Amino acid sequence: MRIVIISDAWTPQVNGVVRTLKQTERELKAQGHQLRFIVPQGRRGFALPFYPEIRLALVSAGAIGREIEAFLPDAVHIATEGPMGLAARRWCLAHDVRFTTAFHTRHAEFIHAMLPLAGIQSAVWAFLKWFHAPSHAVMAPTASMVEVLNAQGFDRVKLWSRGVDHDLFKPQRKNPLKHLPRPRLVLSGRVAAEKGIEEFLALDVPGSKIVIGDGPLRKKLQAKYPQVHFTGFLHNGEYASHMAAADCFVFTGRHDTFGLVTLEALSCGVPVAAYPVPGPRDIIEDGVSGALDMDLEKAVKRALKITPKAARARALQFSWKNAARQFADYLAPVLPSP
């Protein structure tokens, strides 16, 4: 198929949406499909107030439509609900072009964490339901998220899982953290309030704490927790080797749709400690490949007893190849059959 994907999120952003789209692109091309990404790069735009590294493009529905038409696609997928996604949605509806969408981010919960105003969550959920209503298939990454969206009144919700690069994320002999006392507890993600990172930093547990990533709270938290090791953003092999050097990966997200980093840790043979919420509870088998508990300290202590072999075995059940096939199966023909 010739597939157009419109997304407000793209490189150089470092997040699960971009990683998912890049891995899906690689697998779909390997399976013989042709892709055209319509993304913000090279367009006029503005930075998000709370996420200055994310720039949203200012683009018209007509401009998006011309790019879609020029590719002559068999299928159109709108990946995000930002200005690019809104313009593509408007053009598709105006021209009776079928499209699919994906639910990558729990915007209602994240926005409420940054702006805790009365009624803001219900307003955001209403917008998201409106945005996805015309979609031929709304792709959600876990069974838990499918349930959440169905409960919110979304229609045609489909499970589109995720994968992990087992060759990159694997147990390694290289150990960049060997100078730190064990157990080595690693967290990876944006250093921001909505990620709950301070819940990890405040844990009263022995060993060393390492935070991989960057964000607006990094300087403040480094000053408050001088004993914690902040690496900043790491990429590819360096990131994978730091992940594999951990004794336990701690995931503090309460409102993530999946949590790719948990799967990357498991693939490295590192057990995961997390809250029993959508995302972690779909990936981690409590007491087998990690530990789930509303008391994160208890989860860490139990996770440290999990064997690397069991953690790795769980990750091997996920692959980007299968995820890409799911994605392709859900795509809708641009025009309905006669």
Between CA 89 and CA 100 the distance in angstroms is 10
- Residue 184 CA to its chain's centroid (Å): 24
- Whether residue 311 is contained in a domain is answered as yes
Domain count, the chain: 2
263 is in which domain, residue-wise? 184-315
Residue that has been written with the tokens 């959508």 in this structure: 278
Instruction: Say what the pLDDT of residue 12 is.
Output: 86
Between CA 141 and CA 118 the distance in angstroms is 28
Between CA 9 and CA 15 the distance in angstroms is 9
Between CA 168 and CA 268 the distance in angstroms is 9
215 and 296, same domain (yes or no): yes
135 and 119, same domain (yes or no): yes
User: Which residue, among 31, 19, 17, has the nearest Cα to 331 in the 3D structure?
Assistant: 31
Between CA 270 and CA 328 the distance in angstroms is 31
146 and 7, same domain (yes or no): yes
214 and 121, same domain (yes or no): no
CATH code where residue 39 lies: 3.40.50.2000
Give me the residues of the chain with pLDDT under 50, please: none
Residue that has been written with the tokens 């953003």 in this structure: 233
205 and 288, same domain (yes or no): yes
- Whether residue 175 is contained in a domain is answered as no
| Predicted confidence (pLDDT) per residue in 84-106, tens digit | 999 999 999 999 999 999 999 99
- Residue 51 CA to its chain's centroid (Å): 15
Peptide bond into 276 cis (omega under 30): no
208 and 240, same domain (yes or no): yes
| Predicted confidence (pLDDT) per residue in 180-221, tens digit | 999 999 999 989 888 899 999 999 999 999 999 998 899 999
- Whether residue 89 is contained in a domain is answered as yes
Contact (CB, 8 A) for 168 and 133: no
Instruction: Say what the pLDDT of residue 263 is.
Output: 97
212 and 125, same domain (yes or no): no
Instruction: Say what the pLDDT of residue 278 is.
Output: 93
17 and 41, same domain (yes or no): yes
- Sign, CA torsion 266/268/269/271: negative
Between CA 149 and CA 167 the distance in angstroms is 33
146 and 221, same domain (yes or no): no
199 and 247, same domain (yes or no): yes
Between CA 274 and CA 109 the distance in angstroms is 18
Contact (CB, 8 A) for 120 and 257: no
Instruction: Say what the pLDDT of residue 48 is.
Output: 80
Question: Where do the H-state alpha helices sit in 42-141?
Answer: 61-71, 83-94, 107-114, 120-132
- Would you call 100 exposed, middle or buried from its count of C-beta atoms within 10 A (0-12, 13-18, 19+)? buried
The one-letter amino acid at 37: F
Instruction: Say what the pLDDT of residue 337 is.
Output: 59
- Whether residue 336 is contained in a domain is answered as no
Q: How many CB atoms lie within 10 A of CB 76?
A: 27
202 and 81, same domain (yes or no): no
Contact (CB, 8 A) for 109 and 38: no
Instruction: Say what the pLDDT of residue 114 is.
Output: 75
149 and 197, same domain (yes or no): no
- Whether residue 228 is contained in a domain is answered as yes
Distances, alpha carbon 40 to alpha carbons 30, 43, 246, in Å: 25, 6, 36
- Sign, CA torsion 198/202/205/208: positive
User: Which residue, among 256, 261, 251, has the nearest Cα to 292 in the 3D structure?
Assistant: 251
